[in-house]
Amino acid sequence: MDTREDLVPGDTGSWRHYGATTLPKALAAALDAFAERGYDGTSIREVASRAGLSVPGLYHHYPSKQALLVSLTTTVMRELLERSRQALAEAGPTPSEQFDAVVESLLRFHMFRRNQAFVASTEMRSMEPASRAAFVALRDEQQRMLDRIVEEGVAAGEFSTRYPEDASRAVTTMCVAVASWYHPDGPLSPDEIVTRYLAIARCTVGAR
């Protein structure tokens, strides 16, 4: 099952559904290797071996290890953005409803795509300047989506925080951090985590 099957534009709620894997096998292999050994600790040979490809076969699609990292991390960020946009499009008109939708999208993504999120955040230092700038631009777009909602919530009197931009960043941070401890076999189900973190995130922005 790939992203296109999970996430169908216009198919209500499909942003909540995650299949087992969404990546081409070379990127899936790079993801596993980077998550286990880090970018610097991973060789192209190891990625090829994990993907069941020859080294020349891998190079045919990805001319360098850097190309694998860039393709992997931008694919990850684009999926998050696409899901969050769909969640927002389906939400009700109030900032409170929109806040809940985008926060839930962030939470589910960081549970079901936790390895991707971990590699993207820890290997930013390994990206060349242009790639890093492109990645940061996507990440900033996701952050601004929530920033706008929090600002509108404050303007509408639905949120009382005195620091909308900082509170919005703090909420993103707490959702992103779920990737560092969530485990499918853990004591809390994804739905229970969404319930708890939505309650906490609403408090953080001073939802009335």
Other beta carbons within 10 Å of 55 = 13
Alpha helices in the chain (DSSP H): 3-6, 25-37, 44-51, 55-61, 65-90, 95-112, 114-122, 129-155, 164-177, 190-204
CB of 120 vs its own copies, minimal distance in Å? 12
Q: Is 125 in the site for its own copies (CB under 8 A)?
A: yes
Shorter beta-carbon distance to its own copies: residue 24 or 206: 206
Q: Is 200 in the site for its own copies (CB under 8 A)?
A: yes
Q: How far apart are CA 110 and CA 113, in angstroms?
A: 5
Q: Is 186 in the site for its own copies (CB under 8 A)?
A: no
Shorter beta-carbon distance to its own copies: residue 41 or 63: 41
**Among 25-33, 57-65, 68-76, 170-178, which window interacts with its own copies (CB under 8 A)?**
170-178
Shorter beta-carbon distance to its own copies: residue 133 or 200: 200
Q: Is 167 in the site for its own copies (CB under 8 A)?
A: yes
Q: Is 44 in the site for its own copies (CB under 8 A)?
A: no
Q: Is 150 in the site for its own copies (CB under 8 A)?
A: no
Shorter beta-carbon distance to its own copies: residue 81 or 177: 177
Residue closest to 153 by CA, chosen among 74, 110, 82, 98? 98
Q: Is 60 in the site for its own copies (CB under 8 A)?
A: no
End-to-end Cα, the chain, rounded Å: 40
Q: Based on the number of CB atoms within 10 Å of its own CB, is 192 exposed (0-12), middle (13-18) or buried (19 or more)?
A: exposed
Q: How far apart are CA 79 and CA 7, in angstroms?
A: 9
Interface residues toward its own copies, by CB under 8 A: 35-41, 122, 125-126, 161-163, 166-167, 169-170, 173-174, 177, 196-197, 199-200, 203-206
